[in-house]
Amino acid sequence: MANDYYQLLGVSKGASDDEIKKAYRKLAHKYHPDKSGGDEAKFKEINEAYQVLSDKSKRSQYDQFGQTFDQAGRSGASGGQGFGGFDFSGFSSQGSQGFGFDGGDFEDIFSSIFSGGQGRSGSRKKRGKDIQVDVEINFKEMVSGAKRQINLRKSTTCDACSGTGAESGSEVKTCSTCGGVGRVQKVSRSFFGNFSQVAECPDCQGSGKRATKKCSKCGGDGKVMAENQLEIQIPAGIADGQTLSMQGAGEAGGIGGHSGDLYINVHVSAHKEFKREGQDILSSVEIPFSVASLGGETIIETIDGCLTLKIPAGTPSGEKFRIKNKGVPSLHSGVRGNQIVRVVVRIPKKISREQKQLLEELNRLGE
């Protein structure tokens, strides 16, 4: 893609996470392929830009390397002067990824400083990164459930080598760089002197194994960038702002590692007639003064269609009526709440002379 991600979303380079999310939601709503006038190609570009800029690690690398950041991140550069031995770009506090550095985890770095670089032995299989996307549904879909098709451009397991990084028919041997441990010791210099750091082996990516001939499709990484289409099932009763997860639907892991997860942030658009309160749906209906006084019937709207509501004589404005099983279903049991209808008595601003006389007579009789 030749376009600048910030320009695609219409935000500045210093935009906050909230500004980026707001811009993405607006553009995604405008260009969604399911909408009239939608643009699938534009939607894919916007989605790709958001996947990068909403991820702190990817955004940091993108700001540094531009749109070649994915290749630059795999270059395996090591060493460096001063504090350059630490790579803070992979630091994350989200989900099961814990706190980690791309070049080795927090515990390994500091244990290597104070224990002569021994660290923990044994190969580590690198888990793929998680992905977050935003999906918008309307109020009725929130009650009934919905499906969405989303397009993701992400790293996926290479289908040519099944993620092994080896060309078909080639032999896989113990990595000579790390001796099959999956980790190597580096010596870094700082203001405090030299210290050792145990990091992932750049040649086998922590797997401890290397192919005699690398896969021609993925270059030995075991993963490639590709377009993926996923169908998301959004359950009935989900709340605005609630997050769903799809295990293993995130970025592909390193060789032998598990894929990350996909997190779907669900947003429910407002309805002009209904509001949600727990499992109940709140609405209101206007009735004329005569119906409130004498009793009668009125038509009300529910999420399932229109119903006739009986109004007892003498109903005051503000009275609430409960309609069972017309609310929001529980995520766990599927049992629906109720619809609470508030009656508003409509008082006419102008009345005829005859109506005025009748009201005056009614007022006199009431005394």
pLDDT, the chain, mean:
79
pLDDT tens for 96-120 read 333 333 334 444 444 434 433 434 4
- Identify any residues that bridge with 154 across adjacent strands, giving them in sequence order: 226
H/E element, 143? helix 139-144
pTM exceeds 0.75 for this model: no
**pLDDT tens digit string along 45-58?**
888 888 888 888 88
Same fold flag, 125-161+217-268 and 275-366:
yes
Which residue(s) pair with 166 in the sheet?
Answer: 214
Tokens of 167: 């060309």
The pLDDT tens digits for 209-259 are 777 888 899 988 889 999 999 999 999 999 999 999 999 999 998 877 889
Is the domain 125-161+217-268 a CATH 2.40.110.10 member? no
Q: Which amino acid, one-letter code, is at 291?
A: V
Return d(Cα 203, Cα 209) in angstroms, integer.
9
Encode 96-105: b = buried (16+ Cβ within 10 Å), e = exposed. ebeebbbbbb
Q: What's the pLDDT band for 91 if we cut at 50, 70, 90?
A: very low
Q: How is domain 275-366 classified at the CATH fold level? A: HSP40/DNAj peptide-binding domain (2.60.260)
Q: Where are the domains of the chain?
A: 125-161+217-268, 275-366
User: Is 280 strand, coil or helix?
Assistant: strand
Higher-confidence residue of 357 and 300: namely 300
